[in-house]
Structure 1
Amino acid sequence: MNPTIVSRFRRDVSFTGEHLDLAGTAVPLKALTPGQGAALKLLADGDRDDAELAAAVTALDGETGLLRWHMLFRGLNTSGLVEHAVREDREDRADGEDGGTRESREVIARLRLVGRGTTLLAPAPAGPARLSRFAEARVVDGTLTLQAPGRHLAVELAPRAAGLLGELAAWSTGVPAPILRLLATAGLLAPGGPGEDVETAERSHAQWHPGDLAFHARTRTPASASGYGGTHPLGDRFPPEPVSPPPAGTRTVALPVPDLERIAAADPSLTEVLERRRSIRAQDTEAPITLDQLGELLYRSLRRRGTMTGGDGQELADRPYPSGGAVHELEVYPLVTACEGVPPGLWHYATDRHELELVAEPGRATAALVSEARGAAMLEADPQVVLLVAARFGRVMWKYETVAYPLVLKHVGVLYQTLYLVATAMNLAVCGLGGGDAAAFATASGRDPLLEGTVGELVLGSRPRMEG
């Protein structure tokens, strides 16, 4: 293997002879010399090594033109307009009877800009190198791609170079320096060395799970990813999902509409509710929650107050709690074991009609969800109601890209608080749970977990007399 660093313009950059075109935007280049123009044309045509670029400059500008070229080339890298690769030059045995050889060139690794930032190359490590435990490998457009959390660069690996990942699972000196330079530039190598493994020795690194850090960095570091904000990534392939899901079943229970004026006059103040709010891990088994109470809680917390159409054609909703872009993707499924006026089973709350729709009769699948919630809340008996919070992911992911799932989680948080405050004002027992089983919900509800899955759970019931 004879690897060499080569460079070319980014895939969305072209050279007109006078300026650069960056995705339709002209980037001016001042006072180009003939040699600089020739070198820029080589970069636009494909991968070139430093020797080829220097030869093009000196042929027209002389040796004195190299300094100006190096300054220009550094500026292009600082602006992130150039990408680098490792090309393997080797001699292969030619077919035929003469037994000769022929030279072949193959790019085996490429450094790509996937966010915003510089593409200046870092030096290769002086000693042993190891792949960072936070490095993430995934397939992008048919190519194995590595990226480190929060980094704006990624490294694409051809099959001939992919085997080096096994070599770099431990501290190694057997990987060619040009490939190490690409990995180091992308932040994919572990800091320190065999005797000073920062990723396990220092708290700042050791406390993070790779999946958590990748999620945090992707959604909180806009420069490290494309598609931040409302980009409508699926807008040209799928229509937006309607604001209301299809009916869940034929059996329904109408919920009484509470008198909000009467409630507003009798409710405790917001300050009092906030001060009284706490998780209550006990329920009154002798006097369970009633249909009226469950209906009032759902009405005050998440009924649909209205609909509208966004400028992008997506149907939007208005509910008592906030939602990014007014998409309101959350649906609540009350899993009832004991509620006066509501038969046991898994129900769906229809926010537009203020009624419950039966999704599943009690059975092994619903019992598993009840048991899990009981254990998570440390209750002595089955919870009277488990409020399963599900997300219709397409409502958010049709419009948003990088921030889509974080928005879902933010919405879960504000819904939790809304349910907590309303339940406290109603003197009900409520306790939010820190986790749940989306697969168990899919089994019980029959929902496709990639289209609609649980993202939160709360247990709800009547408040014990001692807690009054």
Structure 2
Amino acid sequence: MSQQFLLSLKQDISCIESDEPDRLILQSSTHALTFKQVQSGLKTALRTLADGGATLSELSQMVEQDGGNFLALRFYTYLQRFTHCGWLCHSALAEGMPIAIAIPITADYQFPYTEVVVESRYVLSRFAYCHSVEGQLVLESPLSRSQVLLLNWQGAALVMQLARPQSCHDILAAVPGISLKTVQQLIGLLLSAQMLSEVSEDGTIQEQANTTLAQWEFHDLLFHSRSRQGRHANPFGRTYRFLGKIEPLPAIKPRMSEEAIALYKPDLEILKTTEVSLTQILETRKSIREYGETPIAAQQLGEFLYRCARVKHLKQEEHGEITRRPYPGGGALYELELYPIVNRCEGIDSGLYHYDPLAHQLYRISDRTETVGALLQNAWQSMGQQGMPQVLIAIAARFQRIAWKYESMAYAAMLKNVGVLYQTMYLVATAMGLAPCGLGGGNSDLFAKVTGCDYYAETSIGEFALGSRIQGSSLPDCESTIAPRR
């Protein structure tokens, strides 16, 4: 462990004096460490760690005053234990004042010190990013198990310089009023925190040579690391962080217009006896991007929506309304909203609609405008320009419906809900002999513009194309509950 860093305990670690004079307790919100038969020098060092910290050499002097080298070695094992507990912070100094501090965000934390070579060049990881947290500038990366607080202009200036390969002398020339020792300390801190890489003579870094990391995009790896437990210390799961501050959204979105279309409801009891098995439906399911000359009918669209997404039960609970629907939804919150964009459908005019899953009705939002057509065009391009969807179902999320209850994992849960809805739609469409296709991308800004929704309150996160099958294509061997079209 380097002598140069300032060592301290995280701010949430308390140093508690015991009733017994030779006993001391260090306690976090999750667990405590009790030190027995603590000599005065060790007690002073532990208190110092909890109250601002000191360098390793300073702490060693405190311990050695009345314990000698044996107690100093024992103290080093304590520091290792603090590190592995995720308690020990490391700060880079400029003239004795901290300019950046590495704070552990996981329990299995490590801080492998790497010697900084003055002549070598270093560069910031492409996964590292700065953002403001409660008035402080924080450097983070999904590769790291710590976050680095940049405490003054010097830390921020050095990080900015490291956006491109730089040596210590390069930084000294670019940032006036800073010492070589400070530059080395900060680079050493960032290396140990896995925010930085040394540049080899051929101009490459280890991060680039790693073929696994090379295939991760910045936003994907960040989203993965921050929406699951293990590599962050953020609150996670069902926290109800807005309870008593913001009212939860209702389970059913208010109507968006007064122009309603009542939809066909199939007889599920008949379907139970006439439809083919789930295994046959699963085995014949496939994405179909070309459609029959005769378009999908209003009755078919009504049956499809009823079987996929209707509200089966609405219930008021302590923390708001929940519903039951044909597909599973996280927390029974069902934040997803369906917006059928009709291109060709017998019995329903072309345009944009919102599906009311409780009333099982469509509410007309817009005619077939240029921007509505652009959504269909965007879907056609996503499908390889094989066939223009007869009906495109834009799947939007009322984000606050689920983010009100869940923290860190909210958006990830929404995407999982889209996935299970996709599968439900695929299976129902296959059973009905329709042509289904889940899309991999869409234009959320365009959707918000067309619907008039607030992009940050509700916009599209999935799209599903639907239409009739080409005559003669293979269909599941089942009877339809829809009357034959004449």
Question: Scaled by the length of structure 1, what TM-score is found?
Answer: 0.90
Q: Is 1:424 aligned to residue 435 of structure 2? A: no
Q: Is 1:132 aligned to residue 129 of structure 2? A: no
List 4+ stretches of structure 1 deviating above 6 A: none
Code of the aligned partner of 1:292: Q
On the 8 A contact 1:115/1:226 being kept in 2, the answer is: no
- 1:159 to partner: Cα distance: 2.0
Q: Is 1:323 aligned to residue 329 of structure 2? A: yes
The equivalent residue for 1:96 is none
The equivalent residue for 2:141 is 148
The equivalent residue for 1:182 is 189
On the 8 A contact 2:11/2:50 being kept in 1, the answer is: no
The equivalent residue for 1:263 is 271
* Aligned mate of 2:225, from 217, 224, 229: 217
Look up the SS of the partner of 1:335 in the other structure: strand
| Partner deviation per Cα, 1:337-396 (whole Å, 9 max, x = no partner) | 221222221111111111111122221221111111122224566422110011111122
Distance in 2 of aligned mates of 1:245 and 1:116: 42
- 1:291 to partner: Cα distance: 1.3
Distance in 1 of aligned mates of 2:237 and 2:193: 24
Taking a change above 3 Å as real, the CA distance of residues 448 and 124 of structure 1, as seen in their structure-2 partners, is farther
Instruction: Describe how 1:27-426 pairs up with structure 2 within 5 A.
Output: 27-89=33-95, 105-118=96-109, 120-126=111-117, 127-157=120-150, 158-174=152-168, 176-190=183-197, 193-195=200-202, 196-285=204-293, 287-310=294-317, 313-379=319-385, 382-426=388-432
* Aligned mate of 1:464, from 446, 470, 475: 470
- 1:449 to partner: Cα distance: 1.2
Code of the aligned partner of 1:118: Y
- 1:274 to partner: Cα distance: 1.3
Cα RMSD over matched residues?
Answer: 2.1
Distance in 1 of aligned mates of 2:248 and 2:67: 57
Greater displacement, 247-256 / 215-224: 215-224
The equivalent residue for 2:174 is none
Taking a change above 3 Å as real, the CA distance of residues 192 and 219 of structure 1, as seen in their structure-2 partners, is farther
Distance in 2 of aligned mates of 1:138 and 1:223: 17
Code of the aligned partner of 2:11: R
On the 8 A contact 2:111/2:193 being kept in 1, the answer is: no
Greater displacement, 231-240 / 331-340: 231-240
Q: Is 1:12 aligned to residue 12 of structure 2? A: yes
Greater displacement, 166-175 / 137-146: 166-175
- 1:290 to partner: Cα distance: 1.2
Unmatched 5+ residue regions in structure 1? 90-104
Code of the aligned partner of 1:142: G
- 1:264 to partner: Cα distance: 1.8
Look up the SS of the partner of 1:389 in the other structure: strand
| Partner deviation per Cα, 1:174-227 (whole Å, 9 max, x = no partner) | 162221232122211236634352333332122121111211222345243422
Code of the aligned partner of 2:410: A
- 1:52 to partner: Cα distance: 2.8
On the 8 A contact 1:7/1:49 being kept in 2, the answer is: yes
On the 8 A contact 1:86/1:107 being kept in 2, the answer is: yes
On the 8 A contact 2:143/2:195 being kept in 1, the answer is: no
On the 8 A contact 2:86/2:105 being kept in 1, the answer is: no
Distance in 1 of aligned mates of 2:338 and 2:272: 24
- 1:408 to partner: Cα distance: 1.0
Unmatched 5+ residue regions in structure 2? 18-23, 172-182, 475-486
| Partner deviation per Cα, 1:200-257 (whole Å, 9 max, x = no partner) | 3332122121111211222345243422322233335322221111211111111122
Code of the aligned partner of 1:16: I
On the 8 A contact 1:14/1:44 being kept in 2, the answer is: yes
The equivalent residue for 1:455 is 461
- 1:309 to partner: Cα distance: 4.4
Distance in 2 of aligned mates of 1:194 and 1:315: 61
On the 8 A contact 1:218/1:225 being kept in 2, the answer is: no
Greater displacement, 433-442 / 31-40: 31-40
Taking a change above 3 Å as real, the CA distance of residues 201 and 4 of structure 1, as seen in their structure-2 partners, is closer
State the identity as a percent.
Answer: 35
The equivalent residue for 1:101 is none
The equivalent residue for 2:478 is none
On the 8 A contact 1:377/1:433 being kept in 2, the answer is: yes
Look up the SS of the partner of 1:216 in the other structure: helix
- 1:64 to partner: Cα distance: 4.5
Distance in 2 of aligned mates of 1:132 and 1:69: 34
Code of the aligned partner of 2:139: L
Taking a change above 3 Å as real, the CA distance of residues 197 and 316 of structure 1, as seen in their structure-2 partners, is same
Code of the aligned partner of 2:292: D
The equivalent residue for 2:480 is none
Distance in 1 of aligned mates of 2:353 and 2:308: 17
Taking a change above 3 Å as real, the CA distance of residues 412 and 116 of structure 1, as seen in their structure-2 partners, is same
On the 8 A contact 2:389/2:467 being kept in 1, the answer is: yes
Taking a change above 3 Å as real, the CA distance of residues 184 and 235 of structure 1, as seen in their structure-2 partners, is farther
